[in-house]
Each structure stands twice: as structure tokens, then as C-alpha cells.
Amino acid sequence: MIKYPTGVAPNKGSLRIWFMYRGARMWESLGVSDTPKNRKMAGELRNNIVYQIKTGAFDYKQQFPESPIFKNLDHSQGKAMSMREIATTWLSLKKPELALSTYNSYERRIKITVDMLGENVDVRSIKQEDLLKLRNELLTGFHASGRNYTVEKQGRSVASVNGSMRDLLALFTFAHGNGYITSNPMANIKPLRKSLRKPDPITKEEFPRLIAACSNRQIANFWQIAILTGLRHGEMCALAWEDIDLMAKTITVTRNLTCEGLFTPPKTTASNNRIVCLVDGAISAIRDQMELTRLCPPSSFDFHTREYKEVIPDKKTFVFNPSIHTVNGRSGAHYAVDSIGQSWNTALKRAGMRHRKAYQSRHTYACWSLAAGANPNYVAAQMGHANAQMVFQVYGSWMQENNTEQLALLNQKLNDYVLHMCYSKQAV
């Protein structure tokens, strides 16, 4: 029995293919004989058409200019729908797929771009030119009409703009796939190029100055542990004493605190329930922190899992508790992610150090570990990356700059394996 690729079928000695377009199954005859070679080519053509439809790049008339089916299709501009309506519809259908914090980020970005395009503008009227203008406005923070946006007057970073444009690509792909528009204006807009920034770690000479400049003992412990473990700041804020095993010298990372104040699983699947091994310096800082907060009462909170609408009540004793330094009782039982960045900036200023973003604490852990000769796969696992690819991408050039240290390390490790042989100057 002859086996045909998916979507390919015989038609009176020739071949035809089918694909879904605007919610209906379309059959198109290819006019080629039914041979093994043509069956394979037909399957590849059909796969390509399906991909183009999915990405919003499919042009029916160009692909099948003589098709009687195309001539009978309704080529009107589709159903009238405003940008706000299409965005609301797309977000509501997308919501079950996303964690609550991720959905909130989508919603926030989409609101800004839809407001800039015009929330009552018909989605059918949006052209590629409008989207390119929008991208420039996001970059500069200046609207084409001449007024500044208060959202971010200085403009947004390339990474942020690319993220907003990815949202719009998904939005317009959805609109095209459901027949609201006949073509996707985002289809051929490529992401802006983004330069890879080098990590700017705290040096070993600066480290004691930074810690000494922290405003209190707890903040000093916080940044010591952050730098010596590579934990994300949200993971640090959500860290509980129940996650730490000093006998095994490990931390089990099980939760993250978002900027919105939600307790969620860590950022990536590879980060969830990962075991972080503690170096001696981190253990010393944890033991010091025990004196401050280990006996504090546990706090109740809601844990938002990745499953849609699943919320699990939980109770933990947080390692870092700002209430121990306040007298008015207004502080909660854990730090907010935003406040941690402020403590970092204050410590840098008091120490007279060059400014760096607080996220350099995580980069510092990676750089120090790699310089000490740690396996990149080990570093990736400790930091919650799925593999070492991210480590090589972010720290590859930095690692090359430390070739001298690496050579000294190899000499130290390999000298014991070298067989020293003495040769006389004269041949025997």
C-alpha cells in the first residue's frame, strides 16, 4: 500500500494537497504525476504552506494564482475589530498557557503598544509602516505627534523593544490566522540587533569594601550570600530557612518573588528545585543570619504554580526579614525585589565604588567560579540554566581574557602527570 505524506493525496493519477486556511480545509491540485519523488516534494510544499499560514506570511494568490478556490474566497478585509478588542481577545485566550506573573508582563506591554497605536483603531488599517514608527517611538520615547510619553521619556532598551514587538507579532499572527486581517503586517519585521554586554563583576578587592558599606548586618549577609551562590534576587527574597540544609551544605531553590509581589516557581523549569552547593563563605554568612531571623515566626503566603489558577497556601520562615530593623511595624516579613536594588546602590555609593547594576551579583558568582576552574556545566546547573550554552554566550569572552590564569591553573593541576626526562646533549 502506497503511503502518502500528511496532507498529500492522489487525484486521478496526479497529486493534490490540503491545508487549513481561515478555519476551512483547502484542497489544491498540483498537476504533477503521482510518483515517489513528487510525493516527497508535495509533502515539503504542504509543510512550507502550513508554516507560512502559521507565521502570517502566506499569500494564497501568489502560491496558487490559477486556483478556482481562491477566486471564490471572500477577499474582503475581514471582520472589523479594534486594536483593544483584538488584544483583549488574544490575552484572554493566552491566559491559561501562562504563569500569572508572565501574563501580567504581557498585559502591561500590550497595553502600552495598543495605546500608542490607538486602542480604537481598526486592526485592518494597521500597516507595516505604523509598526516601524511605533518601534522608533519605543526606542526614543518620543511620539510622532510631538509629545513625550511619560512611561519612559528616555526611550527603551533594544531588548525591551524587541520584547514588545514579539508580543505584537503574536497578536497579529492570531488576527491573521482567524481571518480578522488578510495579511500580517509584522511578518517581515526583523528584531533589532542587540550587542552582547560583557559582565562587570565585583572584584575580589572590592568585595570586602562593598560588604562593609552595607547599611546593616542583614543587608551585608544578603549580598554575601547572593554573590557566593548566584541566586536571582527574587529567589533571595523568597528564600526560607526550610530551604537550607547546613549539614549537607545546600540550598534547595523552590520559589521566586516577582516584582508584583507574587510567589511563583523560579524563572525557568531548570531553576525549579535545583540544589545549590554552598561554599564556606556563604555558610558563614548564613550562620550569622541565623542569629537574626531563624527564630522569627513563620509567615503565610499564597504560592502561584505554573498551572492555570492554581494557588497553594504556604507558610515559611523567611531568611531575610526587614521587620527586625523597623520600629513602626510597617515592614513585611520579606524584602521586595525593588528595595533590594536600592540597598545595592546605597552600598556602592558608601564604598566609593563605580556603579553597577545589582544583577552583577549573579554575574560575579559566575565569573569567580569560572576563574577558579569550575566546570561550566556545574556553574550552569548552580545558576539554574538548562545547559552551559548560556554560560558560554555570556561569559565566553570574559573567560578568554583570563587565559593566563587558566594556564597557571593547568600547570598547577597537570604538573604531577608530566613525566620529566633528562636528555644528554650528546646522542647516545
Percent of the chain residues past pLDDT 70, beyond the cut:
86
pLDDT band at 148 (very low <50, low <70, confident <90, very high): very low
Residues 25-40 have a mean pLDDT of 90
Q: Domain boundary at 337, 364, 391, which?
A: 364
The answer to whether residue 339 is domain-embedded is yes
pLDDT band at 399 (very low <50, low <70, confident <90, very high): low
Give me the CATH number covering residue 88. 1.10.150
Per-residue pLDDT tens over the stretch 307-316:
888 899 999 9
- State the pTM of this model: 0.69
Higher pLDDT: 22 or 34? It is 34
CA distances from 317 to 60, 126, 251 (A): 61, 52, 14
Asked if 227 and 342 sit in the same domain, the reply is: yes
Q: What does DSSP say about strands 299-304 and 311-316: parallel, antiparallel, or unpaired?
A: antiparallel
User: pLDDT at position 417, please?
Assistant: 58
Report the C-alpha dihedral over residues 156, 158, 163, 166, rounded to 10 degrees: 120
Higher pLDDT: 71 or 168? It is 168
199: its cell numbers: 559582565
Look at phi and psi of residue 179 and say left if phi exceeds 0, alpha if psi is from -120 to 50, else beta: left
pLDDT band at 329 (very low <50, low <70, confident <90, very high): low
CA distances from 86 to 89, 98, 172 (A): 5, 18, 9
Total of domains in the chain: 3
Name the residues annotated as catalytic: 232, 267, 362, 385, 395
pLDDT band at 242 (very low <50, low <70, confident <90, very high): very high
The answer to whether residue 420 is domain-embedded is no
Asked if 95 and 115 sit in the same domain, the reply is: yes
Residue with C-alpha cell 499564597? 302
Surface-to-core class of residue 189, CB atoms within 10 Å of its CB (0-12 exposed, 13-18 middle, 19+ buried): middle
Does residue 121 carry a pLDDT above 80? Answer: yes
Residues 152-159 have a mean pLDDT of 75
> If you average pLDDT over every residue of the chain, what do you get?
85
Does residue 43 carry a pLDDT above 90? Answer: yes
Q: Which of 90, 88, 77 is nearest to 124 (CA)?
A: 77
Does residue 206 carry a pLDDT above 90? Answer: yes
Asked if 166 and 211 sit in the same domain, the reply is: no
Residues 204-210 have a mean pLDDT of 94
CB 43 within 8 A of CB 7: yes
Report the C-alpha dihedral over residues 109, 360, 399, 396, rounded to 10 degrees: 0
Give me the CATH number covering residue 222. 1.10.443.10
Asked if 152 and 242 sit in the same domain, the reply is: no
Q: What is the largest CA-CA distance in the chain?
A: 96
Q: Domain boundary at 320, 335, 364, which?
A: 364
Asked if 333 and 275 sit in the same domain, the reply is: yes
Does residue 144 carry a pLDDT above 60? Answer: no
Asked if 135 and 52 sit in the same domain, the reply is: no
Asked if 252 and 286 sit in the same domain, the reply is: yes
Instruction: Give the phi and the psi of residue 60 in degrees, each rounded to 5.
Output: -60, -45
The answer to whether residue 100 is domain-embedded is yes
Higher pLDDT: 196 or 76? It is 196
Q: Domain boundary at 177, 193, 220, which?
A: 177
The answer to whether residue 231 is domain-embedded is yes
203: its cell numbers: 572584584
Asked if 291 and 350 sit in the same domain, the reply is: yes
Q: Which of 183, 325, 306, 320 is nearest to 254 (CA)?
A: 306
Residue with C-alpha cell 486594536? 83
Asked if 276 and 248 sit in the same domain, the reply is: yes
The answer to whether residue 279 is domain-embedded is yes
User: With the C-alpha atoms ordered 160, 264, 227, 353, is the resulting torsion angle positive or negative?
Assistant: positive
Look at phi and psi of residue 155 and say left if phi exceeds 0, alpha if psi is from -120 to 50, else beta: left
Asked if 67 and 97 sit in the same domain, the reply is: no
Does residue 210 carry a pLDDT above 50? Answer: yes
The answer to whether residue 399 is domain-embedded is no
Does residue 151 carry a pLDDT above 50? Answer: no
Does residue 74 carry a pLDDT above 70? Answer: no
pLDDT band at 328 (very low <50, low <70, confident <90, very high): low
Asked if 12 and 116 sit in the same domain, the reply is: no
Residues 263-279 have a mean pLDDT of 88
Q: Domain containing 234: what range?
A: 207-364
The answer to whether residue 236 is domain-embedded is yes
User: pLDDT at position 71, please?
Assistant: 67
Asked if 310 and 345 sit in the same domain, the reply is: yes
Per-residue pLDDT tens over the stretch 380-389:
999 998 888 8
Secondary structure E strands in 173-298: 244-245, 250-253, 256-257, 263-264, 274-277
Instruction: Give the phi and the psi of residue 427 in degrees, each rounded to 5.
Output: -65, 140
The answer to whether residue 122 is domain-embedded is yes
CB 382 within 8 A of CB 230: yes
